[in-house]
Amino acid sequence: MIKYPYVSFEVEVAPNSKRKKTIWRPIIELIVFCGTQFAAYPVLVDSGADYNIFHSGLLEALGGKLTKGKKRRIVALGNQPLKGYMHNIKLKLVGGNKFESSAIFSNQIPDHALGVLGQNGFFDRYKITFNYKAKTINIS
Amino acid sequence: MKPINWNQLFDSYKGKWVALEQNKKTVVSSGKNAKTVFEKAKKKGVKVPTLVKVPTKMIPFAG
């Protein structure tokens, strides 16, 4: 089992508000592989997401070609469509083993969001336990 | 296990790609282009840079 801490942020309680509130999010770091290149990439562990969705810039940084993937369109909360390309990739949890997975890489991830780990490609491979009180995520 | 606080990082590099050292605190390169940021970090000897696209705004959201 691998244990990760939550990450805290000071967020505006409303757009353009000066009032801030501490928000805790289950963000973990993955190693993302593309060919011989790899980088660590922090992502939100999001049980509400159907797929892994990563920034296209990450793929390009690692030498991948975005449009070589399969075109995909998904819809986020608020009905906003997001276009991207599905790629088969290898991922590794820090402290874990490398595994085959897939992710949609997109240049349309909203500016306020990180990449996400979703049901296909992550939750279908691991048992994930969120402990908000202890601010830890256990993955086994 | 200590929770991580990235407020300072997120305040200073809004909207940019940032490469962090393995300590997850030290910024080794930053900019608008992820590939350039990654390559600069590798040239500086960081074996596994952490690449982050820093959000422009921190607001509550539902995914």
HSE-up (13 A, CA, CB side) for residue A92: 13
A22-61 residue pLDDT tens? 889 999 999 999 999 999 999 999 999 999 999 999 999 9
pLDDT of amino acid A136: 95
List the domains of chain A with CATH numbers. Answer: 2-139 (2.40.70.10)
Q: Quick check: is B49 in a domain?
A: yes
Q: CB distance A39–B51 less than 8 Å?
A: yes
Enter the pTM of the model.
0.92
Closest Cα in chain A, distance from residue B20 (Å): 9
Q: Which stretches within chain A are classed as H helix?
A: 56-61
What is the distance between the alpha carbons of residues A8 and A14, in angstroms, rounded to a whole number? 17
A12 vs B contacts (CB less than 8 Å): 57-59
ipTM of the complex: 0.89
B2-61 residue pLDDT tens? 556 677 777 789 899 999 998 878 899 999 999 999 999 999 999 999 999 998 877 777
Count of A-B CB contacts under 8 Å: 108
Q: Single out the residue of A7, A113, A112 nearest to residue B57, CA to CA.
A: A112
To probe the interface with A, which of B39, B52, B54 has the most A CB atoms within 10 Å?
B52
Give me the number of domains chain B comprises. 1
Q: Quick check: is B1 in a domain?
A: no
Evaluate the CA torsion angle B8, B12, B13, B14 in order and state its sign.
positive
Q: Quick check: is B20 in a domain?
A: yes
